[in-house]
A and B are shown apart, each in its own frame.
Chain A
Amino acid sequence: MRIFENLNIDFLGKRKFFYILSSSLFLIGVVNFIFRGFTFGIDFKGGSEYVLEFQNPMTVGKLRPNIENIGLGNVELKSYGSSNAIIIRTELQTVPQTLFPGIIKKINSQIENIYPGLPYQIVDSTAKSVTYNFPNSDTANVMVDRLFREGFQTSKTTADLTNTKMTVSIGISDLIKINLKEKLKDNTFKVLKEEQVGPKVGGELKRNAVIAIFLSLVMILIYLGFRFKFIFAAGAVVALFHDVLITLGLYAALYNIIPGLNLEIDLTTVAAFLTLIGYSNNDTVIVFDRVREMMKVHKTMPIEEVVNLAINKTLSRTLITSGTTLLTTLVLLIFGGEVIRAFAFTMFFGVIIGTYSSIFVASALVVEYANKTKKKLQF
């Protein structure tokens, strides 16, 4: 089958139009960024995130009051996939100190329940834990065991001779689980996913992500500069910037707009961006390769025509490969599940913008440069 045979479209002649298109896409992104900003996932922001799947139907609206009165402040709830699963997310790392008295009261009542009349003292209390002292090691062992089964994160403290101390760690997940277990007795849940990232780790990951993206752009610049003329490398890298920025703009624009599509910037998004860079560059290189070949054959032809010819000659390949890749990203988008939906979406859009930019941005910039300097480009 031949669809794109012997085409002769004057792509570069219409480049002004595509400059406007690119600029407006970019502007839309900038405007959205200013007014809506980016939403980072907990990989970069730090915080805690839990996905709970309930046995019986559960909605965000039904769950919210049960979560809100725990006192964790601003907690974000979202449905996850199509099942009865819900994401619970907070930026907190540790339980606020104001909640401690209530939690300690709860633990105390549990202890009194298990062993009425048992004397005990609280000997230590930190931001994440409370330590109890019991009369002897046997009671301490029983308490560690029983409270653990009630959902408390207990362990024995042994930095002393007596062996009678119990430490209860109090984390956000423990608090949420204990509370929900108590309030939703008839609707049990299991934890599908639990993530907690410290603010420092988040900062590091963010920095690494930026470094990774820039590093790959620089490496592409160097490699292409080595294989082609520098202006071609520069054109390619500008096109890649163009792709990344416009896709980022899309993230700002579409966040929370499409239901079921969670467009947060996290580690997987960065992976998608890097793949997008690799893919888009792939396209550009193939066009440039043809330009290089054509320039050797048609030595007198003006650069604009050479580039146009190269684009037309490779158009068939460009569209077919983009087509098959687009097909696979579409498959991932539909069948890949919740976990990689954002990734698949980024790639899907990235393939389109990448294909577009190798024709209309990278090549056009090279032509623009050649026209401006009035120099004959050589290889």
Chain B
Amino acid sequence: MKEIRFRLAIIIAAIVFSVYLLYPTYVDYQKTKNLNKVLDSKKKDLLVGNPNINPDLLDKKVKQIEDSIKASDPSYVKARAQRIKLGLDLQGGMRVVLEVNTTKLINKVAKNPDEVFKGVIAESEKEAALSDESVVDIFARKLSQRGIRMSRYFGSVRDDDSKIISDLKKDAEDAVSRAMEIIRNRVDQYGVSEPSIQRQGTRRIIVELPGVAREEEAKQLLQGTALLEFRLLKDPELTFSIMQKIDNVLAGKSLIDSTKSDSTVAADTNKTKKQLAKTDTTAEQRQKDIEKNHPFFAIAHLLDSQGRSADAAVRGDERDKLTRLLNRPDVQSAIPNNVEFIYSAKPFKNTNDNKDYYTLYLVNKEPELTGGVITNARANIDPQTTSAVVDMEMNSDGAAEWSRITGANIHKRIAIILDGVAFSAPVVQGKIPGGRSQISGMANMEEAKLLEIILKAGALPAPVDIIEERTIGPSLGQDSVTNGLTSMVIGYILVGLFMIFYYRRSGEIAAATLTLIVLFVLGVLAGFGATLTLPGMAGIVLTMGMAVDANVLIYERIREELGTGKTIKASVEGGFTKAMPAILDSNITTFFTGIILYQFGTGPVQGFALTLMIGIITSLFGALVISRVIFDWMVAKGAKISVG
């Protein structure tokens, strides 16, 4: 009995733990159901209010409502993050494999390409489409067959072929990092939840965007060339007065009396920010006042109360709200039409509340320069200050422009903007004549490396091709979820009923064990953050059919033992012991194939392999531990055991 108690404790712990792991999934399901109900009714209201509304606009409005509901209740995000992850085939979305186009890259870095070069490149491209050899190698081989040295087109005359080849390969690898950074930047701004951007091998990037409904837009996101711009930041005074105007518009005040009490606002918001950490009632009251009287500054907190800069910080979860406010037509009319607000690309951590904040800048709409003029960028350590810096070089056209721009804007700031978000906003220290400039102010080498990649993205657009693309529409995903769940329920009922019908009381034990096995499989999936796919659900259904195998083996053995006239206790004992080797051998080999399948498969197939493997382990636990405990307990109690 004592021994049973220990095993019983393990089983109960496993059950409790699985339920605990699955609880967020349940919460998420309920919340999503409620949310969809609310959104549907809102959508209907919108349609009634404006029957001819453009479907795109309608979607956007509904999305806004959804975002604001989610922003108001953090438990949505929390439950979503901890639920069983659904694969792209179940929630809809897009999986894209991108490959850096090395041919284009070679073309780009080659100096004085002639007809021979173009011919060889075209030939290599054709050959590379069919072979695994890298384009660089094929290209080099073809050149050497013609007796041409690589240095004719690349590097300097003294470089030998092998060095140039390795340099080109390095370029191609750099291009992958660049492309990844560009894509990550855009995906971050696009606001896809749970995106996955992975590097595969040396030339490929796998991007998975769950829940993307507009695949055209997403594709545009992935493929377009990166837009790198240098734009002038507006002076703090001007920026502040525009912010003031916006604030007044939002607070519903008229524009005329807005010039008064400029500095008090800045001081006010700063005070409240400092006091936010404390929760005394006066601070709360003040905060409410500020929200009412200064709706803009309540979200966009000025970073410098002395007014030396007008950079404002916006909490990550309030960013969308601010963007919406800024896009209001009445607010737009308060902003001069040659400037716009942009955010920093990466957030910084506020030490007070430990939350992510983005910086808000006011910049010219028209860029001073675009990234095409940059020829090189490199992250370095400045020997004098030992801080991280980025050196960049420009071509002669760019250098001339740059010299004019920097000369005219000494002590002003220029924002380095990639695809609409700022990566850095350094101050111009002096006129830069030769195009060689140094950007300082990076916190560490990592940041400098990132800026290097960003600057190069303008210089050398990383040409990427989509080589594999799979998109599942949300409705097909929903159908698949329904089909999967239906199959699971029906499969469970049929197998359970069969077992009970065939083995009677023992069959009931098997059916009960089966319930726990399914619970454990789902619990393990949730616990490891593994992804459930449709083949994965099929794997669970199949597991139910195969899981009872261990029980069947044991029961058949028990019957045989009983047939030889042994006592019930001895028969149960013998049944379990004798069935053991067969159960282990057969499951281990199936487990092997599961591993291989996982290794070789992609997405959905991996999901299947995973549930198959988890299913094998849990069904072994089910038959060898759970069923055993129940039998032992029944034997100890002297209960009648029927094996059919």
Distance of A291 Cα from B620 Cα, bound (Å): 23
Q: Tell me the A residues contacting B by CB distance below 8 Å.
A: 1-2, 51, 53, 128, 148-149, 151, 153-161, 163, 167, 169, 174, 190-201, 208-209, 211-212, 215-216, 219-220, 223-224, 227, 267-268, 270-271, 274-275, 277-279, 281-283, 285-286, 289-290, 293, 313-314, 316-317, 320-321, 323-329, 331-332, 335-337, 339-340, 343-344, 347
Choose among B89, B483, B548 the residue that contacts A335 (Cβ–Cβ < 8 A). B483
Q: Among the listed A128, A285, A317, A344, which residue makes an inter-chain contact with B556, where contact means beta carbons less than 8 Å apart? A: A317
Contact A200:B549 (CB < 8 A) given known A271-B601, A271-B608? no
Shortest distance in angstroms between B496's beta carbon and chain A's nearest beta carbon?
A: 10
With contact pairs A274-B593, A281-B589 given, residues A155 and B220 touching in the complex (Cβ less than 8 Å): yes
Return 25 A-B CB contacts under 8 Å, by A number.
A153-B220, A158-B371, A158-B458, A161-B372, A167-B225, A195-B470, A195-B471, A198-B467, A199-B130, A211-B600, A219-B596, A268-B605, A271-B609, A279-B590, A281-B589, A282-B549, A283-B586, A290-B582, A316-B556, A320-B552, A324-B495, A325-B549, A339-B476, A339-B483, A340-B535
CB distance from A144 to the nearest CB of B (A): 9
| Contact A332 to B597, CB < 8 A, known contacts A191-B473, A339-B534 | no
Q: Check if A212 sits within 8 Å of B597, measured CB to CB.
A: yes
| CB contact under 8 A between A271 and B467, given known A158-B227, A163-B367, A212-B596 | no
B225 x A331 contact (CB < 8 A): no
- CB-nearest residue of chain A relative to B204? A201
Expressed in whole angstroms, the minimum distance between the Cβ of B118 and any Cβ of chain A is 14
Instruction: Flag if A320 contacts B472 (CB, 8 Å).
Output: no
> Chain B residues near A128 (CB, 8 Å)?
465
A216-B596 in contact (CB<8A): yes
Do B476 and A193 touch across chains, with their CB atoms under 8 A apart? Answer: yes
Closest partner residue, chain A, to B479 (CB atom):
A337
A160's partner among B226, B370, B468, B471 (CB-CB below 8 A) is: B370
Residue pair A328, B223 in contact (C-beta under 8 Å): no
A227 to B586, CA, bound (A): 11
Residues of B close to A320: CB separation below 8 A: 502, 552, 556
Evaluate contact between A208 and B228: CB separation under 8 angstroms.
Answer: no
Residue of B nearest to A195 (CB): B470
Q: Does B369 contact A (CB under 8 A)?
A: yes
- Bitwise, B380-414 to A at CB < 8 A (1) or not (0) is 00000000000000000110010000000000000
Interface size on B, residues (CB 8 A): 92
Inter-subunit contact B535/A271 (CB<8 Å): yes
A283 to B582, CA, bound (A): 10
17 further contact pairs, Cβ within 8 A, besides A216-B593, A324-B545: A1-B501, A53-B475, A156-B224, A156-B225, A169-B219, A195-B469, A197-B469, A219-B592, A220-B592, A267-B601, A278-B592, A290-B582, A328-B495, A331-B494, A335-B487, A336-B483, A336-B541
| Chain B neighbourhood of A163, CB < 8 A | 367, 370
CA A325 – CA B612 in complex, angstroms?
13
Asked if A274 and B226 make an inter-chain contact with CB atoms under 8 angstroms apart, the answer reads: no
Contact of B471 among A194, A209, A223 (CB under 8 A): A194
Q: Considering the complex, give the chain A residue whose CB is closest to the CB of B498.
A: A324
In the complex, what distance in Å separates the CA atom of A293 from the CA atom of B483? 43
Complex CA gap A133/B330 in Å reads 34
Closest to B219 in A: A153
Measured CB to CB, the closest approach of chain A to B373, in angstroms, equals 7
Q: How far is the CB of B364 from chain A (nearest CB, A)?
A: 13
Contacts of B553 in A (CB 8 A): 286, 317, 321
Complex CA gap A303/B453 in Å reads 71
A275 neighbours in B (Cβ, 8 Å): 542, 593, 597, 608, 612
Closest to B504 in A: A1
Of A270, A278, A329, which contacts B590 at CB under 8 A? A278
Contact A194 B470 (CB under 8 A): yes
B215, CB-defined interface residue at 8 Å: yes
A-side contacts of B246, CB under 8 Å: none
Enumerate chain A residues within 8 angstroms of B219, measured Cβ to Cβ. 153, 169
Q: Is B484 an interface residue (CB 8 A)?
A: yes
Report how far A211 CA is from B605 CA in the complex, Å. 16
Say if the beta carbon of B581 comes within 8 Å of chain A. yes
Please state if B471 and A343 are interface contacts (CB–CB under 8 Å): no
Q: Which of A163, A174, A199, A224 has the most CB of B within 10 A?
A: A163
Contact yes or no, A324 B397, CB < 8 A: no
Chain A residues contacting B472 (CB-CB under 8 Å) are 192-193
Q: Is B216 an interface residue (CB 8 A)?
A: yes
Residue in B227, B479, B589 whose CB lies within 8 Å of A220:
B589
Closest B residue, CB atoms, query A194: B471
Query: Does any Cβ of A come within 8 Å of B351's Cβ?
Result: no
- A198 to B541 alpha-carbon distance, docked (Å): 33
B480 sits at the interface (CB 8 A): yes
**Please, which residue of chain A has its CB at the minimum distance from the CB of B481?**
A337
How far is B608's CA from A274's CA once the two chains are assembled, in angstroms? 11
Asked if B129 is at the interface (CB within 8 A of a chain A CB), the reply is yes
Give the nearest-CB partner of A318 in chain B. B552
B597 touches A331 (CB 8 A): no
| B227–A156 CB distance below 8 A | yes
Instruction: Judge whether A289 and B480 touch: CB under 8 Å.
Output: no
Residue-wise, chain B 209-245 has the 8 Å CB interface mask toward A (1 for contact) of 0000001100110011111100000000000000000
Q: Contact at A278–B594, with CB atoms within 8 Å?
A: yes
